Structures are given as C-alpha cells and as structure tokens.
Amino acid sequence: MNNPGSGGRLEPANWLWLAGGGSIAAALLHLACMFGGPGWYRWIGAGDDIARAVERGQVRPYLLTIGIAAILFGWAWFAFAAARLMPRPPLLRTGLVAIILVLLLRAAALFVPELWAPETGATFKIVSSLIVLALGLSFLLGTIRAWPILSVRT
C-alpha cells in the first residue's frame, strides 16, 4: 500500500504484486495455447514450426509450454515471496536478480534481428518486448525497493 509520506510512489510490495500477477497472467496465457490449438500458438508468437508440430499431434510443444508456464509460475512465487505473501524460496535475492536479467535481456532482444525467426512479424516483436520490459521493470523496481528487507528471514 502507499504510505501517506510516499508521495504517491508505489511501495515495493505493489511493484512485486504487479510482477507476480504479470507472471501468472503470462503462464496462464501460455497454458491456454494448449487448449486453443495451433492458431493460439501462432498468435502468441511460438512460430510456424511449433504450430505445425501441434497440428501433427506431437508432444514436444506441450512439454515446452508446460515448462515455460512452470518457470513463469516460479517467477510469480519469487515476486510474491519478496512481497511477503508466500513462503520464501531458496536464494530469493539471487533468483530475483536472475529473473530481472532474463526479462531485461529478452526485452533487449528486440534490437537483435538474428534472434528472431524470419516469419516473426514486427508487431509481435515490439508488443512482446514491451510486455516483457514492463514485467522486468516491475521486478526490478520492486526488488530494488525491497532489497534491504529481502535478507531478513521471517
């Protein structure tokens, strides 16, 4: 919550709630692709290779999707634990720094054309990178503001 003396700035927990909520939303969106089929995989930006594998009934896309969702749910755990809403995972500070680096590097990938499949459209590249940047900044701001209390075990 905002304190009266905070000048309207978001407190660390609020940034971390945004980070955790965004991670859960992204995880659920990925899982929804499993039920939405190849069109959903294409829409989320997985590419034609993955969508065609779904069309052929291969298991690999589903395993990848579950893996990505599990990682995103794990990131939510770290965010909510840093906000003291969930039990503390091991290496909380280290994990948060790693999550921030992954997200900010993924956002910066917008500027590295070699990383993108040729069929990936500009709209997807820009929109997904902005979403990942917003998520990364939420983790970053929450972590910076909560850093002093993150070493305290409760």
* Per-residue pLDDT tens digits of the chain, which is 154 residues long: 444 444 455 576 899 999 999 999 999 999 999 999 999 998 888 888 899 999 999 999 999 999 999 999 999 999 999 999 999 999 999 999 999 999 999 999 999 988 887 777 788 889 999 999 999 999 999 999 999 888 877 5
Tell me the three-class secondary structure of 53-114, residue by residue.
HHHCCCCHHHHHHHHHHHHHHHHHHHHHHHCCCCCCCCCHHHHHHHHHHHHHHHHHHHHCHH
Name which of 69, 127, 138 is nearest 104 in CA terms.
Answer: 138
CA distance 59 to 68: 15
Q: pTM, whole model, 2 decimals? A: 0.88
